[in-house]
Structure 1
Amino acid sequence: MRTLGALFIIVLFAWPWQPAVAGDDCADGRLSPARIVGGEKLVLSWTGKVNKKMATALDDAFEANKHRVKSVELSLKSCGGRVDYMAGTIAVLHHIKETHKLTTIVDQGSTCASACIPIFLASDNRRAALSSLWFFHRTWRRKLTGGVDEVQTGAPGKSSIDQFHDRYYVPAGVSAEWLKRLKPIIENTGGYWQTGRDLWESKSGIVTETIGDVLLQEDRTIYLAPAPGCTAMCRG
């Protein structure tokens, strides 16, 4: 019995989905090493909170490679962060768009919540998996002073939903009707979860191109669990 328990633990930690959950979308945010794909596309991937380092990290990676590429692809997996850090990151993405084609991506099973969403919307080309997860809520600007995002608040902890949407959602082509339905939900609740499929089928305008839920084998490394035993069948 003890042997079977040990084998179960080995299988659990070696199961194929284990690498997919390794990145924590609420950990301290970090940028993975930049890659150039196909000789002309800069691929960037951010995992974790939108923090003070995000804008600088993206800008540094772009500046170091901008003369070698024609386009930039930014993959996001984040539970959000402070509005001022978000605004700084968006400014960097707008700078990138001045000279390069920019695409933002939220992959299968990844989350883009709160401050991550306006960052995703900063691109004109926005790809998301049908199985991605999204969380919308009103902005909370506790202990922040000044108009860092040009959205004025009446008091700490309160914000103008309309002004926030007008600044970050409407210019991206998000549906006015969809925003009208969203406002009372996030105004009167703690927030609103959606999937990529929900956003696409409701014609929200958040996503401009969908990514299917089937992940091809050549797209990732497959990890196989060690077999607890081998019969004549598996020996051939």
Structure 2
Amino acid sequence: MQVLPPTGIAAEIEALTRADNPTIRPDTLVIRLVGRIDVATATEIATAWSERPDGISRLLLDIESPGGSLAATEDVIRALAAIREQARIDTLVRHGAMCASACVAVFMQGEDRAAGGASVWMFHGVCYADSNIPSLAQTGRFLDLLREAGASEAFLCRLEEEGFVTTAGKLWISGYELFHLYKANVITRLLEPWRRESPTLPERLPFEAR
């Protein structure tokens, strides 16, 4: 995660309802966010929500992202806060998906925060462009976002005390480790590792636990 917007491919936003996938609840709009969080992401999420069909009272944010800039992340959090005033927000990181860096703060905006035990998570300090040395002040801003969303204080202290966010480097862990070993309260529910499929035709990817 960088203080300033990074270069790279911006996130793709796709909005889905039950009309697109029968495993989606009738009251739910799924917003699938894949890619880097950038300056346009907050506006795109807000637009997708504003264009939702009648009868939608829940947003499920399905995320797979390497992160993005701190400023863009704060914009996304503000956009989600506005949506939360009128709807429930849940978040999802699928088995095999990655939620790295700034993505974690966005994921934590959900009430039910579901993730696969085989998902991939990465934590590091906030750096200025062309540097891998964390800015302690900007990293503190990021940790406050996690703290305000309910992350375990013991986990946040560990990130700092063990140098995971205060020195150059990256901490890579699985969803299982984040939930069971670090007890971070980032993930509130692990997805089941086994999902039955039709023996004849592949199912559409379900969005709800069975």
Asked if Structure 1 and Structure 2 have the same fold, meaning a TM-score greater than 0.5 normalized by the shorter chain, the answer is yes
Map of 2:112 onto structure 1? 125
The TM-score, its normalising length taken from structure 2, stands at 0.79
Any conservation in 1 of the 2:134–2:168 contact (CA below 8 Å)?
A: no
Structure-2 change in CA distance of 1:53 and 1:204 (3 Å): same
Determine whether 1:209 maps to 2:186.
no
What's the TM-score, normalizing by structure 1?
Answer: 0.71
Question: Structure 1: how far apart are the matches of 2:166 and 2:45?
Answer: 32
Q: Which residue of 1 aligns with 2:153?
A: 176
The structure where helix makes up a greater share of residues is 1
3-state DSSP class of the match of 1:108? Answer: coil
* Structure 2 gap ranges (5+): 1-7, 19-23, 204-210
Q: CA deviation at 1:66?
A: 6.4
Cα 1:103/1:66, change in 2 over 3 Å = farther
Distance 1:27 1:217, change over 3 A: farther
How many Å separate the matches in 1 of 2:10 and 2:79? 20
Partner SS for 2:36: coil
- Contact 1:93 1:123 (8 Å CA) reproduced: no
Residue in 2 aligned with 1:190? 169
Cα offset, 1:185, TM superposition: 2.2
Runs of 4 or more above 3 Å deviation: none
The alpha carbon displacement at 1:86 in A equals 1.1
Confirm or deny that 1:162 pairs with 2:140: yes
Alpha-carbon RMSD? 2.2
Secondary structure at the residue paired with 1:182?
helix
Match of 2:114, SS state, is: strand
Q: Runs of 5+ in structure 1 lacking a partner?
A: 1-25, 144-155, 223-236
Shift of 1:67: 4.0
Contact 1:49 1:78 in 2 (8 A): yes
Contact 1:141 1:159 survives alignment (8 Å):
no
In 2 relative to 1, CA 197–96 (structure 1 residues): closer, same or farther, beyond 3 Å?
same
Q: Which has the larger radius of gyration?
A: 1
Q: CA deviation at 1:207?
A: 0.6
